[in-house]
Structure 1
Amino acid sequence: MNYEVHRITSLEQLEECEKFCIDHYQWADGEKPEAYGRMGLLEGYGLIISMTAVERNPLRTFTKENDPVYEDSAMEAFLSFSAGGSDQTYLNFEMNANGAMLSQFGTAKAREFISYDKEQKAICEAGIKEDSWSILLKIPMGLIVRFFGGGPLQSGDSFTCNFYKVCQTPGQEHYGSFAPIISEKPNFHLPEFFQRAVII
């Protein structure tokens, strides 16, 4: 089943977009925190993704851009606008509850950190509540076009994606994904298992 990406004209409308659940947990017998999100195409800007994890006191040691936030409690969004297959290119954004974000572009075997300019910079905003934390990821259309070519996304266009919740800390270790992954070892960098998303 495709994930439907609705066109929106304001950030408030993101709450009306289709919900995705990160509920495929494997590779560890630890916690399985509830995690979910929504994605929309903001007119005149680009893709907007909100993600929430129901988790108290998430591990959040890293504070700088491109720190290894996957070693904290993290939520991640991987998106590909290229042809399918295991060697396709994709963007990966990995974020902790401090709002620190690691962002890369490449393939499953080779990725580089993204160098940003002001107009094409992806932005992560984070918030923490007593029993949950959330992020708001803003991906400008210019960044997508820069790496994948073509024009701005339109109704009927499609791409593939997956979303993750991860923590590698002993006693709290967990690996959750939106689209299921077939792998003997923990590995989110498997674009062949990304889910198709369609702009409507």
Structure 2
Amino acid sequence: MEYQVKIIDSPENADKGTLFTIDNYMWTCLTKTKAYGTMTYLKDKGFYVEMTCEEKNPKKEYHNYMDPVCKDSAMEIFLAFPPKGEPLTNDCMYTNFEINANAALYAAYGKGRKNRSSMPQQYLKTCSCRTTIHQDCWTLSLLIPEPFLKKECGLPQLDETTEFYCNFYKISESPEIEHYAAYHHINNPTPNFHLPIHFAKAHITP
């Protein structure tokens, strides 16, 4: 599986992106909500993501940056960037962006699950994280800033030659609605989204 990340020149063109569906339900799934979206590359700005979850009254107790939104109902974007020419491992550089229906954002980066740092707050405004709650669904939009990926994550460039991997998730760790769903299946006996070796290969393309 390879995800095509289309290049766009404006967020208004996000509908030109490749649709992904989060339909691999794993581990405990007390609910199975339909979720999907697109990720595009907004040239010289970063990765622009729009997602929709067909979920009524999503759990949304958290409001602040770096709150544990995975305990609410959340949609998530994980991106992994192994060094060029080296094999993909679970200890490579990867980012995780997690958002609930209040637009509370949890954003971290690092090499492996044990070496995580919060995304510096200077990038929050650029992320422009927004959500909208509708009668039968909720939506989000988010920019993963290119300056963050270059300065903090060490990416030399973002273009058609960039080697990276992605996965998209729908989650709640709350016992009453616990569920785990992914775009690309995670082959692991217990819940764990922090496994880049199970991400889908991604490619920036015109």
Q: What TM-score do you get using the length of structure 2 for normalisation?
A: 0.91
- 1:112 paired with 2:154, answer no
| Worse overlay, 118-127 or 15-24 | 118-127
- 1:142 paired with 2:141, answer no
- 1:94 paired with 2:98, answer yes
What is the alpha-carbon distance in structure 2 between the residues aligned to residue 156 and residue 89 of structure 1? Answer: 17
What is the alpha-carbon distance in structure 2 between the residues aligned to residue 87 and residue 118 of structure 1? Answer: 24
Matched residue, 1:85: 89
CA drift of 1:96 comes to: 0.2
| Worse overlay, 134-143 or 145-154 | 145-154
Task: Name segments (4+ residues, structure 1) moved above 4 Å.
Answer: 118-121
Q: Deviations over 1:15-62 (max 9, x none)?
A: 111000111011114111000010101123111011111000000000
What code does the residue aligned with 2:166 have? C
Q: Is the 8 A contact 1:120 1:140 kept in 2?
A: no
Q: Is the 8 A contact 2:69 2:98 kept in 1?
A: yes
CA drift of 1:149 comes to: 2.8
CA drift of 1:169 comes to: 2.5
Q: Is the 8 A contact 2:29 2:180 kept in 1?
A: no
What code does the residue aligned with 2:174 have? T
| Worse overlay, 143-152 or 85-94 | 143-152
Q: Is the 8 A contact 2:82 2:163 kept in 1?
A: no
CA drift of 1:82 comes to: 2.3
Picking from 179, 183, 197, the partner of 2:188 is: 183
What secondary structure sits across from 1:15 in the alignment?
A: helix
What code does the residue aligned with 1:65 have? Y
Q: Identify if the C-alpha distance between structure 1 residues 2 and 118 changes in structure 2 by more than 3 Å, giving closer, same or farther.
A: closer
What code does the residue aligned with 1:91 have? T
Matched residue, 2:197: 192
Q: Is the 8 A contact 2:46 2:145 kept in 1?
A: yes
Unaligned runs of 5+ in 1: none
Q: Identify if the C-alpha distance between structure 1 residues 186 and 66 changes in structure 2 by more than 3 Å, giving closer, same or farther.
A: same
What is the alpha-carbon distance in structure 1 between the residues aligned to residue 8 and residue 177 of structure 2? Answer: 36
What code does the residue aligned with 1:35 have? A
CA drift of 1:168 comes to: 2.1
Matched residue, 1:165: 170
What code does the residue aligned with 1:56 have? K
What is the alpha-carbon distance in structure 2 between the residues aligned to residue 81 and residue 58 of structure 1? Answer: 31
What is the alpha-carbon distance in structure 2 between the residues aligned to residue 150 and residue 112 of structure 1? Answer: 16
Matched residue, 1:43: 43
Q: Deviations over 1:72-107 (max 9, x none)?
A: 000111111223112112111111000000111112
Q: Identify if the C-alpha distance between structure 1 residues 46 and 169 changes in structure 2 by more than 3 Å, giving closer, same or farther.
A: same
Q: Identify if the C-alpha distance between structure 1 residues 66 and 148 changes in structure 2 by more than 3 Å, giving closer, same or farther.
A: closer
What secondary structure sits across from 1:139 in the alignment?
A: strand
Q: Is the 8 A contact 2:123 2:145 kept in 1?
A: no
Q: What TM-score do you get using the length of structure 1 for normalisation?
A: 0.94
What code does the residue aligned with 2:53 have? A
